[in-house]
A and B are shown apart, each in its own frame.
Chain A
């Protein structure tokens, strides 16, 4: 069994060039969506079935002039499926089309998925999209076919600044710790690792160095990183209690002994006790 692998994405050195997006689309033969041009530099929009990589542009530049942004004024982050240790998508998938591979990554088997889309409602990162062309859910495979050929994923290979680094998780953790320590030393107080430890879904196969709070990048914080199954017990309990009350109410309403048989041809009273 190979050692678990993953991505370490250092957002502090991402320049928003989108080379990762292009390489991903090229290798995975994704035609992409029609670009959307709005109030910003992001014309990809979101992760979906056509975008396994998405470079987010977080514009925190205020209307008034600022002296220093402490690395926060303009944030860029190449987002991707996090290949969670405790994966919400894998948890709910009814067809077992979503599996954990020998590399510890999370993969949707395209020939097994039937397009029920429960994984999309479960993924807290919005990393899965529904493909109209294949009728299945799709997301980053971490270039499973390249891994099998001992090649690194296309996005990491294309990244010109090494913002996206691929490797074994143990190596990547060491690199991330060293990089965080260096940034802290330089005075970047908000710098933090996201998904490096097990506080976010048991640890992420694709983890990040962020320059601000996770919410700023559209990532759930520790309190909101929760699994769908948390609602199983109370959900069924609510249904059970309601059903029990409903059965009693039905039996009371249907009881016949308190009602006199209606006179022939007469309409029974509406509010009979």
Chain B
């Protein structure tokens, strides 16, 4: 059984917000690329909306991550080694937070280019978007891995958080696209397809939550994230997935998408805060 004597890093709302935005930004980019690959020009309005939304979310990521630092003006120390005599770039492949910093920067470039092209109503090459999507998926995933690669109870007791965050990034971004499609003209073709994708992603997310619980049970730390108010929140997370699983249409589809988004945020909140309580 895992025993921990570590102190909490006090990663709180800024980090929850960062993980939420990073997941949505990455997910939106991936879904836009997948919609483009399927080849129907009837998806163009939604693809454009996804690329337009992804970049501002990446900007929000950078802001949230920076203001969470104790010394925000030293954010560039993540990339440049300031140790006298060492110099050069800081790149530690074994440290997810180091890899993630670079991934955020690289994805920022991809999402910015796609944002500009979407603004000018031009398409970028599929290869460019596919490469951007790989970085986007890494960004969504590493936020979970950075928790696992620690010695905190709950976080370090499960290897499944990276996968869980990818699944919820996809479900959350599909839900966000459902909402964006609902409010845009020429999106009636895409809306049911997004809804269907969201159902698959939500199913994947539910499965990953179960895997997460199983790994914690094996480590003997399930009670840490399953006691008191956290249990209630996990129940709410599961409830948020049900409308999307059942499928819906019209205004109920919109409500279902809102529920999924709230669930994605709540899930990150519970994972982050329960381990530090």
Identify the A interface with B (CB < 8 A).
46-48, 88, 91-97, 99, 109, 111-118, 120-126, 128-132, 134-137, 215, 218-221, 224, 226, 228-229, 231-232, 234-243, 245-247, 249-256, 259, 261-262, 267-272
Contacts and interface: CB of A to CB of B under 8 A. Distances in A.
A268 B151 contact: no
Contact of A231 (B75, B95, B98, B145): B145
B229 interface: no
Contact of B7 (A88, A128, A228, A261): A128
B71 A113 contact: yes
B77 interface: yes
A243 B86 contact: no
B152 A243 contact: no
Contacts of B167: 242, 246
A232 B145 contact: yes
Interface in B219-277: 247-250, 253
Contacts of A96: 81-83, 86, 90, 92
B162 A123 contact: no
Interface string B24-46: 00000011001101111011000
B137 A114 contact: no
B166 A239 contact: yes
Contacts of A115: 69-71, 74
Contacts of A126: 5-7
Contacts of B82: 95-97, 109, 111-112
A166 to B, nearest CB: 24
B83 A235 contact: no
Interface of B: 2-11, 30-31, 34-35, 37-40, 42-43, 68-72, 74-75, 77-78, 81-83, 86, 90, 92, 94-98, 101, 137-138, 140-142, 144-146, 148-152, 155-156, 159-167, 170, 188-189, 191-197, 199-201, 204, 208, 247-250, 253
Contacts of A136: 70-71
Contacts of A247: 30, 34
B188 A268 contact: yes
Contacts of B193: 253-254, 256, 259, 272
A270 B7 contact: no
Contact of B37 (A46, A88, A251): A251
Contacts of B4: 124, 220, 224
B95 A94 contact: yes
A111 B9 CA distance: 20
B81 A254 contact: no
B69 to A, nearest CB: 5
A268 B189 contact: yes
A120 B192 contact: no
A114 B74 contact: yes
A220 B3 contact: yes
B9 A249 contact: no
21 contacts: A95-B82, A96-B81, A96-B90, A114-B77, A116-B70, A117-B9, A118-B9, A121-B151, A123-B151, A136-B70, A226-B151, A235-B96, A239-B145, A243-B137, A246-B167, A246-B170, A253-B194, A254-B38, A255-B38, A270-B247, A270-B249
A123 B7 CA distance: 8
A241 B144 CA distance: 14
B94 A269 contact: no
Given A121-B11, A235-B159, A254-B38, 4 more contacts: A95-B90, A130-B10, A235-B162, A247-B30
Given A121-B155, A246-B201, A231 B148 contact: yes
A229 B94 contact: yes
A261 B247 CA distance: 20
Contacts of B96: 232, 235
Contact of A238 (B92, B95, B160, B248): B160
A121 B8 contact: yes
B200 A234 contact: no
A251 B196 contact: no
B58 to A, nearest CB: 18
A129 B34 contact: no
